[in-house]
Structure 1
Amino acid sequence: MLDVEKSATAPTNDDNKFPADALSVPRQILFVGTICTAMFTNQCGMGNTIATVSVVGETFGISSEDSGHLSWLVAGYSLTIGTFILVGGRLGDEIGHKRLFVAGMLWYALWSLVAGLSVYASNDSGYVLFVCSRVFQGMGPALTLPNGLAILGRSYSPGPRKNMAFAWFGASAPFGAVAGFVFGGLFATLSWWPWTYWSQSIALVGVSGFAAWAIPPASQHEAERERQPWTVRKLVATFDVPGMVTGVTALVLVNFAWNQAVVVGWQQPYVYVCLILGFLFGAAFFYVELSTWNPAPILPLAAFNTDIAFVFACTATGWGSFGVWLFYVIQVAINIGGSTPLQIAAWIIPIIPVGLTSALAVGKLLGRVHASNIMLVGQIVYVIGTALGAARPPHSIYWTYFFFSVVAMTIGLDTSFPSATVIFSDAVPREYQGMGASIIVTVINYSISLCLGFAGTIETNINNGGHTNIDRLHGYRGALWFAVGLSGLGFVLSIAFTGVVYLRGQRKDTP
């Protein structure tokens, strides 16, 4: 009996599995805050370009009528984030999440510097260099986002603190978007737009150095694994190279086809050839991942279930509608309503208190209310926010449509992301936390980029060339009503998911 008691009270190997639980409160604040910079800088990189997209376009000789070329400035960034996040998370599982988090910040800083330097090139080459730097910028968040989420998932035991950490991670998104709009508007209006990217580069270098200190070591076993040297040969032996090649190729080709069609039209053969090849590579990817000969698939489908399929669809429709709403509601305000980037930055500021309040509320509710119910709330407010943005008269005052649309979309972001992340994190084994985090952020960013391509196709086909404000407004509104349809689809799916969870609970309660 004494031996049993000793074994029950003796420390086990599990005591060190969640190192953040043992940190002091100030140290936890620094730790979680540092991880949250991944989402903050990701959204900042999107907001600062959306706020200045017209100014950047003018520098390279692109007018506001050529929305296809302008949308690439945003879509290219989201394209690589959504495409390479899965690879980034899987690499983190093999190489070490902290290593790749720091490396991602440095990579992001390098290409932010190049984006600003593109101003010194000629118009055509400068535009190409800027778009390429935006594409390569996206690889930075593709490393920091999944590995940051994996660090949180592995550092905290399931419970309130883990839920709050995920809630704060999601809440940092609107803060980053506001920072991007504010600094982008300030530099574009009062100084010179390249300083938006140069200052971002300086800040990212500082964040990478601080992260190297602030992120605590993983459990003893994982720390020893991360300290072990790795080689390319070892990585190839344990990494799903066929899955990576087919998956990345499929995502790039499909996304490229839809966004490039906005620029050149579907009559160009290479556009639909890319789309067909994308689907073929996608089929090859699923074949590779489901094959029994693949010992370490990059996307272990056996770890997923029906809940994740619903969350996948709800997240894609919700965040896709947000990306379309954000781009086009600002195009209406600036190109039709005559607002300035600084005005837009001021109009977006309410998402800070709203985001903070909703994040805290979600953090408290998770664990008490099933995440599916919180996700349902997010889908409802997505519908409200996009509908207000689509119906808004271009010259209406701020406190009518725009203000309430911003509030609704902020609540949608801060309810859908943490609830989806918790469902994913709880549904996959601990060794796949990097992969599980990768999936949810892949869905977010890839859906934003792809849906911008869908919306751009709608806009260019109904705006009669966009030569007048009336025609341009008609195209913008067509894209915005498409966002309403996306959010409505997500609402229907979330109702179905909530019903499935409820019926499952009823069956469990039935004796």
Structure 2
Amino acid sequence: MSDLEFGEKSSTAPESSSGQISDGTLYPDTLHKQPTHQSAARVGENDDLDRTHTTASSYTASSLSLGREFVFVAVVCCAQLTTQAGLGQSLSIIHVIGRNYGLTRPEDLTWFIAAYSLTVGTFILISGRLGDLYSHKKMLVIGYLWFGLWSIVAGLAVYSNVIMFDIARALQGIGPSILLPNGLAILGSTYPPGPRKHMVFSIFGAMAPIGAAIGAVFAALFSLKWWPWAFLSFGLVLCFLAGLAHLAVPSPPVRQSQVTSFQSALNHIDLPGAAVGITALLLINVAWNQAPIVGWHEPHVYVLFIIGLLLIPVFFYVELRVAAFPLLPLDALKSADIGFVLGCLACGWGCFGVWFYYLWQFHLVLRDASPLLATAYICPIAVSGAMAAIATGYLLGRIGPAWTMMAAMSAFFTGITLIATMPIDQTYWAQAFVCVLVITWGMDMSFPASTVILSNAVSKRHQGVAMSLVNTVVNYSISLALGFAGTAEVNINPGGTSKESILAGYRAALYVGMGLAGLGWLLSLVYLVYDHIRAGVTLVRLKTKT
């Protein structure tokens, strides 16, 4: 067992002289003072261990040389880079792949993206729990291997049919669902709260736009010869990263496992909660993404949707009343800050998913750009993302999460508004270029802020669950929002082939993204007001005591 497993002597909160955990606010530079809220009924004898203060010297980062730390961070951050590369590689050549299988309707092509994002967002929670139990390093290696295997299968699906390709894409997405929470959990448990941790998480977030650009570029280049090479070569790179992760990531100290039997393992994994939660997420998402293709009038679409909705309260009942070790420890996530942050994250990244997909369609379909030229149009996200990550790593501990989220939601809303109002024949430098630069700041401000907040708000042994929750919200929101947008598109443009009718459908979809971004902005505003009121109340209490 790793140092991240059950029974770890760690906490994010210092003790007061009376032995009680002191209160604190959820600002990034003071998050280590925030108490964790664990249910005694859930963790039993480990509850007292969670209250033990963890010093900076107990984190692995202090023992790494600069060179070893560089390689270690690079390998872990490649989890985010390859995840988004897997998204970008299919977007840039989506019509090339579609023509190979005889598909031309936009609603048929969306499954190339949605199938991947669906499984990324659905299986993250259980993957994080497995990492908490059986070592995040082992899960990171397994994630790279799984991702590589099904990337190769996706490339070989050229000899089969589109159903096989869609299945391979869905199974390919399980790889990132393993990589993301465990990679972030490794970083969260390696670095103590502070500026260095903020910067590492910001670098991890910056890999998203860089990875999307790299995946799109290489896919476009390979499509000039044979598009399956994009997936085959990607699979080989992922297998290489698996070996590098085995060598570069520090091995956690061996600790005695509390999982002593098969039944004990099932209890710790929370199999009932995982089964109900995963089924609910799958059914709801499949319904929304299938509806644009066949319509909501088809019985199987609304039946799947209704069953998925009914399973949500069942999942919370299992987590609160049945599970001995809940997959989602709600007792540790009661803070209002976490609720606001996750709400903003869902709206912002749902908006980003709509923006990213339809920006590609705008260039490929309405402006008749080649995959390589369209990739060149979007590549500035890599540069803007790197700048945003560095700035966010510097500002996060100075302006606080409330202002960070407000700025991120503003960037999401501005970016998607620019593309939603863009004329077809307008020069690239007027709105398309600007929206690429702006919306990237939304990604690279919201993601690091969210990961830092949740990482510092829970103990080391819950790092996998915390990072799973952030990544579940990010990736599931992308897939679900694409279903919302696709439904709007086909209802505004039910099969029209003229550029005017296609543009009307795209704009309807983009307006859905604008609505999500606007909702996120309102949530961030409420959060900002709440944060200022809380800070004022705390100041008054301190003055009263003195």
The Cα offsets for residues 180-215 of structure 1, whole Å up to 9 and x where unpaired, read as: 110111111x21110000010010011000010111
Task: Report the AA paired with residue 129 of structure 2.
Answer: R
Counterpart Cα distance in 2 of 1:225 and 1:157: 24
Does the aligned pair in 2 maintain the 1:20–1:216 contact within 8 Å?
no
The Cα offsets for residues 464-497 of structure 1, whole Å up to 9 and x where unpaired, read as: 3223222111101110111111111111100111
1:250 is aligned to: 280
Q: 2:220 aligns with which of 185, 204, 208?
A: 185
Counterpart Cα distance in 1 of 2:534 and 2:360: 43
Does the aligned pair in 1 maintain the 2:273–2:323 contact within 8 Å?
no
1:270 is aligned to: 300
Distance 1:501 1:229, change over 3 A: closer
Distance 1:13 1:491, change over 3 A: closer
2:323 is aligned to: 294
Equivalent residues in 2 for 1:74-473, closer than 5 Å: 74-121=113-160, 126-188=161-223, 190-218=224-252, 220=253, 223-225=254-256, 232-291=262-321, 293-304=322-333, 305-473=335-503
1:24 is aligned to: 65
> TM-score scaled by structure 2?
0.87
| Deviation, structure 1 residue 314 | 0.3
Does the aligned pair in 2 maintain the 1:17–1:154 contact within 8 Å?
no
Does the aligned pair in 2 maintain the 1:21–1:157 contact within 8 Å?
no
| Deviation, structure 1 residue 285 | 0.1
| Deviation, structure 1 residue 230 | 7.5
Counterpart Cα distance in 2 of 1:151 and 1:411: 25
Root-mean-square deviation (CA, aligned residues, Å) is 1.5
Does the aligned pair in 2 maintain the 1:328–1:476 contact within 8 Å?
yes
Distance 1:84 1:429, change over 3 A: same
| Deviation, structure 1 residue 16 | 5.8
Counterpart Cα distance in 1 of 2:54 and 2:84: 38
The Cα offsets for residues 155-180 of structure 1, whole Å up to 9 and x where unpaired, read as: 11111111111000001111101101
Distance 1:161 1:460, change over 3 A: same
Does the aligned pair in 1 maintain the 2:319–2:328 contact within 8 Å?
yes
Q: 1:42 aligns with which of 73, 80, 83?
A: 83
| Deviation, structure 1 residue 505 | 0.8
Distance 1:146 1:502, change over 3 A: same
> TM-score scaled by structure 1?
0.93
Counterpart Cα distance in 1 of 2:494 and 2:107: 14
| Deviation, structure 1 residue 30 | 1.0
The Cα offsets for residues 94-133 of structure 1, whole Å up to 9 and x where unpaired, read as: 1110001000100000100010111112xxxx10000000
| Deviation, structure 1 residue 449 | 0.2
**What percentage of residue pairs aligned between the two structures are identical?**
44
The Cα offsets for residues 365-393 of structure 1, whole Å up to 9 and x where unpaired, read as: 12222122111111101111000011111
Task: Report the AA paired with residue 40 of structure 1.
Answer: L
Counterpart Cα distance in 1 of 2:117 and 2:336: 27
Does the aligned pair in 2 maintain the 1:76–1:131 contact within 8 Å?
yes
Task: Report the AA paired with residue 105 of structure 1.
Answer: Y
Counterpart Cα distance in 2 of 1:379 and 1:33: 28
Q: 2:93 aligns with which of 45, 48, 52?
A: 52
Counterpart Cα distance in 2 of 1:98 and 1:443: 23
Counterpart Cα distance in 2 of 1:13 and 1:349: 42
Distance 1:26 1:341, change over 3 A: same
Does the aligned pair in 2 maintain the 1:303–1:429 contact within 8 Å?
no
Structure 2, gaps ≥5 residues long: 1-52
SS of corresponding position for 1:407 = helix
Does the aligned pair in 1 maintain the 2:489–2:506 contact within 8 Å?
yes
Counterpart Cα distance in 1 of 2:209 and 2:280: 30
SS of corresponding position for 1:367 = helix
Distance 1:230 1:209, change over 3 A: farther
Does the aligned pair in 2 maintain the 1:78–1:446 contact within 8 Å?
yes
Task: Report the AA paired with residue 259 of structure 1.
Answer: N
Does the aligned pair in 1 maintain the 2:259–2:268 contact within 8 Å?
no
| Deviation, structure 1 residue 395 | 2.2
Equivalent residues, number: 488
Counterpart Cα distance in 2 of 1:420 and 1:359: 13
Does the aligned pair in 1 maintain the 2:56–2:192 contact within 8 Å?
no
Counterpart Cα distance in 2 of 1:355 and 1:381: 12
Does the aligned pair in 1 maintain the 2:416–2:435 contact within 8 Å?
yes
Task: Report the AA paired with residue 71 of structure 1.
Answer: T
Counterpart Cα distance in 1 of 2:259 and 2:450: 34
Distance 1:339 1:199, change over 3 A: same
| Deviation, structure 1 residue 15 | 6.7
Does the aligned pair in 1 maintain the 2:404–2:445 contact within 8 Å?
yes
Task: Report the AA paired with residue 495 of structure 2.
Answer: G
| Deviation, structure 1 residue 296 | 0.3
Does the aligned pair in 2 maintain the 1:181–1:344 contact within 8 Å?
no
Counterpart Cα distance in 2 of 1:13 and 1:391: 51
Does the aligned pair in 1 maintain the 2:126–2:269 contact within 8 Å?
no
Counterpart Cα distance in 2 of 1:443 and 1:363: 21
Q: Which has the higher helix share?
A: 1
Counterpart Cα distance in 2 of 1:290 and 1:406: 43
Does the aligned pair in 1 maintain the 2:285–2:479 contact within 8 Å?
yes
SS of corresponding position for 2:426 = coil
| Deviation, structure 1 residue 347 | 1.2
Counterpart Cα distance in 1 of 2:505 and 2:225: 32
Does the aligned pair in 2 maintain the 1:35–1:148 contact within 8 Å?
yes
Does the aligned pair in 1 maintain the 2:267–2:324 contact within 8 Å?
no
